[in-house]
């Protein structure tokens, strides 16, 4: 009897440690995979020069990775359903690293394309399984850890592309790709070390109970996530032109983007806390309303004023996503959190790809200012949608 009590208390004491290890594993994987994703931009000019690609050709090459990553989220989650999310993270990192290893081998343009597809397959696994790992580790208290997970991706986007850009003037691009593959292999070993026997065997916490709101609540959440991403991508499309129109140089555009992304990283880390205070509906209404207001304001401020506003705009423009990701487990249809994350990521990635085309068409047929205002209007459209979502959250 005494032995069983000791074992039980020891298991309870180990639980917070397992939570931290799970969150650390998810954050490390997210940082690497998002770094891989945005790091590809640094390679594009080199590939254009070496392979004689047009801009349309570059877009197709880029789509080999992004299309694979976005389109395989749901099939990858279905294939790995019932497997430990930690094991899936190791697998996803090894596959993505293998893709960069294939790119590093001198096999011409075909090898580059095959490597991009393979890397995209690996990264398609990461998002839904890592989110599921955080959710199963923390249960109903997962909203704030999911915000930290979301934030870790921005760290990877900031660090790895800059690292690649520093290496490319010194080394040929294939050795740099090989170094990225080695980095992925090292991380896979680290992720393996973060797994205990118990953690590798299965989830730490029971799955969420089935949402009583059915699928309607999740459908509204998915639509809100798509509109939120569309707003962000639309503003990013026009921001460089806005800065140039105020007399800013290319360096000033870089500073503007850095200020916006720095605010966005802070927003992803803190808006989960805001949702705990104001609730999902209140926090999303606040961030989207302020997003729309600040987008409009930046149309009329001088360059210096715009630069001062960009960190605050970044907080609300990017921070909403942490609130939305943290709500996915509450509204997962049938209680299948892994599949819900896969569907959600597929939707927001798809919106991120299509939105710039739509806003660009609006600007081409009217004016850039109208396209800018369309992005602000999209943020406002989210307000009635999230008010409708509130009734589903009460039922969940």
Residues 6 or more apart whose Cβ sits within 8 Å of residue 181 = 97, 98, 99, 100, 101, 103, 104
* Same-domain pairing of 262 and 359: yes
Q: Is residue 126 part of a domain?
A: yes
Q: Is residue 207 part of a domain?
A: no
Q: Is residue 19 part of a domain?
A: yes
| Residue segments in the chain with a per-residue pLDDT below the cut of 70 | 1-14, 55, 196-215, 392-396
Write down which residue in 176, 201, 226 finishes a domain.
201
* Same-domain pairing of 175 and 247: no
* Same-domain pairing of 223 and 358: yes
Write down which residue in 201, 231, 251 finishes a domain.
201
* Same-domain pairing of 197 and 221: no
* Same-domain pairing of 23 and 124: yes
Q: Look-up: residue for tokens 């927003």?
A: 267
* Same-domain pairing of 28 and 139: yes
Domains in the chain: how many in total? 2
Q: Is residue 233 part of a domain?
A: yes
* Same-domain pairing of 236 and 141: no
Q: Is residue 83 part of a domain?
A: yes
3-state per-residue secondary structure call for the chain: CHHHHHHHHHHHHHHHHHHHHHHHHHHHHHHHHHHHHHHHHHHHHHHHHHHCCCHHHHHHHHHHHHHHHHHCHHHHHHHCCCCCHHHHHHHHHHHHHHHHHHHHCCCHHHHHHHHHHHHHHHHHHHHHHHHHHHHHHHHHHCHHHHHHHHHHHHHHHHHHHHHHHHHCCCCCHHHHHHHHHHHHHHHHHHHHHCCCHHHHHCCCCCCCCCCCCCCHHHHHHHHHHHHHHHHHHHHHHHHHHHHHHCCCCHHHHHHHHHHHHHHHHHHHHHHHHHHHHHHHHHHHHHHHHHHHHHHHHCCCCCHHHHHHHHHHHHHHHHHHHHHHHHHHHHHCHHHCHHHHHHHHHHHHHHHHHHHHHHHHHHHHHCCHHHHHHHHHHHHHHHHHHHHHHHHHHHHC
**pTM reported for the whole predicted model:** 0.74
Write down which residue in 148, 177, 201 finishes a domain.
201
* Same-domain pairing of 360 and 252: yes
Q: Is residue 359 part of a domain?
A: yes
* Same-domain pairing of 266 and 326: yes
* Same-domain pairing of 390 and 329: yes
* CATH code, domain carrying 146: 1.20.1250.20
- Range(s) of the domain holding residue 308: 216-395
Q: Is residue 211 part of a domain?
A: no
Per-residue pLDDT tens over the stretch 116-164? 999 999 988 888 888 888 888 787 777 778 878 888 888 888 788 888 8
* Same-domain pairing of 191 and 132: yes
Q: Is residue 206 part of a domain?
A: no
* Same-domain pairing of 13 and 152: yes
- Closest by CA to 192, choosing from 115, 84, 34, 102, is 84
């Amino acid at each position: 009897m005494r032995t069983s009590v000791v074992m039980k208390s020891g298991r309870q004491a180990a639980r917070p440690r397992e939570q931290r290890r799970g969150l650390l594993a998810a954050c490390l994987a997210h940082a690497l995979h998002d770094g891989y994703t945005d790091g590809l931009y640094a390679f594009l000019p080199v590939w254009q020069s070496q392979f004689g690609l047009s801009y349309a050709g570059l877009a197709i090459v880029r789509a080999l990775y992004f299309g694979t990553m976005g389109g395989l989220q749901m099939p990858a989650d279905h294939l790995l359903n019932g497997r430990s999310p930690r094991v899936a993270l190791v697998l996803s990192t090894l596959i993505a690293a293998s893709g960069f290893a294939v790119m590093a081998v001198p096999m011409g343009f075909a090898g580059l394309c095959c490597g991009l597809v393979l890397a995209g397959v690996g990264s398609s696994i990461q998002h839904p399984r890592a989110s599921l790992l955080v959710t199963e580790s923390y249960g109903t208290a997962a909203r704030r850890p999911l915000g930290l997970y979301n934030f870790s991706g921005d760290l990877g986007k900031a660090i790895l592309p800059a690292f690649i850009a520093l290496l490319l003037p010194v080394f040929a691009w294939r050795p740099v790709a090989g170094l990225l593959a080695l980095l992925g292999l090292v991380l896979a070993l680290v992720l393996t070390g973060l797994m205990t026997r118990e953690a590798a065997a299965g989830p730490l916490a029971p799955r969420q109970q089935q949402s009583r709101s059915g699928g309607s609540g999740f459908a509204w959440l998915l639509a809100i996530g798509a509109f939120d991403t569309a707003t962000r991508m639309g503003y990013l499309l026009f921001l460089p032109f806005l800065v140039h129109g105020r007399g800013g140089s290319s360096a000033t555009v870089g500073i503007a983007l850095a200020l916006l992304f720095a605010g966005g990283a802070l927003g992803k880390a803190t808006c989960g806390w805001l949702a705990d205070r104001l609730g999902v509906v209140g926090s999303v209404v606040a961030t989207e309303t302020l997003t729309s207001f600040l987008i409009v304001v930046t149309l009329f401020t001088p360059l210096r004023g715009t630069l001062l506003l960009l960190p605050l705009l970044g907080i609300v423009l990017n921070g909403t996503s942490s609130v939305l990701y943290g709500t996915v487990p509450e509204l997962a249809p049938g209680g299948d959190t892994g599949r819900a994350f896969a569907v959600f990521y597929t939707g927001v990635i798809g919106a991120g790809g299509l939105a710039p085309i739509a806003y660009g068409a609006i600007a081409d047929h009217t004016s850039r200012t109208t396209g800018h205002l369309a992005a602000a209007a999209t943020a406002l459209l989210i307000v009635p949608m999230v008010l409708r979502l509130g009734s589903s959250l009460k039922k969940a």
